[in-house]
Amino acid sequence: MGFTNFLVENFNEFLTYTGFANATAGNIAMIVVGAVLIYLAIKKDFEPLLLIPIGLGIILGNIPFRTDAGLEIGLYEDNSVLNIFYQGVRMGWYPPLVFLGIGAMTDFSALIANPKLVLIGAAAQFGIFGAYMVALALGFEPNQAAGIAIIGGADGPTAIFLSSKLCPNLMGAIAVCAYSYMALVPLIQPPLMRLLTTKKERVIRMKPARQVSQTERILFPIIGLLLTTFLVPSGLPLLGMLFFGNLLKESGKTTRLAKTAGSALNDVIVMLLGLTVGCSTQASEFLTINTLFIFAVGACAFAVATASGVLFVKLMNLFLPEGKKLNPLIGNAGVSAVPMSARISNNLGLEYDRHNFLLMHAMGPNVAGVIGSAVAAGTLLGFLS
């Protein structure tokens, strides 16, 4: 009898540890959200490299368990493996490492060949500040508003970096929102681009970019680093790593390092970043009215960023001589969703003129957008930290 009691007692206790005993409706809802993201990534090919880790992370972070048992397994429990991985997000050192990889993979030639494209990257950052004002109007604190507004930069690592510094409690929602909208760029941007351009403008052909020498490509990260970080030192972690990665690539002497930074290292960090960001969206933190607002403001930020990029190109065209005019379809690429938004410019351009390849031209504002969003993040950090 004693042994039976022992078995029953322990079995009952075991049951209290299971996910079935601890599940809440929020957990189930979040697991569904995670599954949807995985579905979108695999079936619809929406940013699979990010949405698969985030989607699985959401599921992982919402597996219910007894939090009072001290199992040290949850993301927010000290010494758990996930908590150790999460330090990279919390302390903000994953995003700069991702930027290192981006720098090592990015070719700035299109920008160097036609430096005026960099201004489009700057104009598109208006999405961030437009969203900042909207977020304030919705009642968010200035630091939270800045964290949410950075979604408009369309740069996941930058959004995570800034929100981890300014509003860590909203970081999960901001990161998921940023990556979701980045994945939805093909759906968000084209209607706006069509709306804001005429048929005549869409068929403007741009001159092929000149060839850029290696000296210019080597000097770009060095000069870029000096100019941007002297003005905005608070952007140092992101800009420093971005330009460092690019120098590794362009120096021609550290190919091995550039290759590692752009492949293996970047992949490892993206996996850990995606997974832990996903995990951080636990139902209790994520399923709030704030998350809905964040998604609404994020959509607004993307729309404003796209529109301001396109409109800025049209403004530039007023001052450019005939034959040197820019195709406004590259304006959307000012948001830093690399290379997705540049690809959209290209596809839309081909839709109206099947010989008008805009990809290389759009890559200019696209990479400028990466720099611009990092500068914007640094600026906001300087003002609000």
Partner 1 sequence: MKKFGLLLGTLLLTGSSAMFGQMEKSIRLNEVMTDNTANLQDEYGKCEAWVEIANVSYTTYNIRGMYLTTDRSVLDKKISVPERVKRMSIIPNGEPRTNLGARQHLLLFCNGTPAQGALHLDVKIDPGKPTWIGLFSGNATDLVDSVTVPPLGANQSYARVKDGARLWQIKPVDAVTPGISNFIQASETKVAKLKRDDPYGFGISVLAMSIVFACLAMLFLFFTFFGWLMHHRSTAKKVAGVQPLKAGVKTVEKAMEIGNKTSIILQDGLKSKGIDKEIYIAVIAMAIKQYQNNVHDMESGVITIKPKHTDWNVEYIQMTQFHE
Verify binding: residue 222, partner 1, rule CB under 8 A: no
- The separation between CA 251 and the C-alpha centre of its own chain, rounded to angstroms, equals 27
Q: How far apart are CA 209 and CA 217, in angstroms?
A: 14
Verify binding: residue 314, partner 1, rule CB under 8 A: no
Residues 347-376, one symbol each (x = binds partner 1 by CB under 8 A, - = not), give ---------------------x--xx--xx
Verify binding: residue 224, partner 1, rule CB under 8 A: yes
Verify binding: residue 379, partner 1, rule CB under 8 A: yes
Verify binding: residue 380, partner 1, rule CB under 8 A: yes
Comparing CB distances to partner 1, the nearer of 125 and 341 is: 125
By CB under 8 A, name the one of 121, 147, 274, 349 that touches partner 1: 121
Q: Which residues contact 362 (CB under 8 A, 6 or more apart)?
A: 329, 330, 333, 341, 342, 343, 345, 346
Comparing CB distances to partner 1, the nearer of 181 and 243 is: 243
By CB under 8 A, name the one of 60, 136, 236, 296 that touches partner 1: 136
Verify binding: residue 236, partner 1, rule CB under 8 A: no
Verify binding: residue 126, partner 1, rule CB under 8 A: yes
By CB under 8 A, name the one of 116, 194, 205, 259 that touches partner 1: 116
Verify binding: residue 102, partner 1, rule CB under 8 A: no
By CB under 8 A, name the one of 138, 186, 205, 216 that touches partner 1: 216
Q: How far apart are CA 228 and CA 22, in angstroms?
A: 50
Residues that bind partner 1 (CB under 8 A): 111-113, 115-116, 118-119, 121-123, 125-126, 129-130, 132-133, 135-137, 141-143, 145, 210, 213, 215-216, 219-220, 223-224, 227-228, 231-232, 368, 371-372, 375-376, 379-380, 383-385
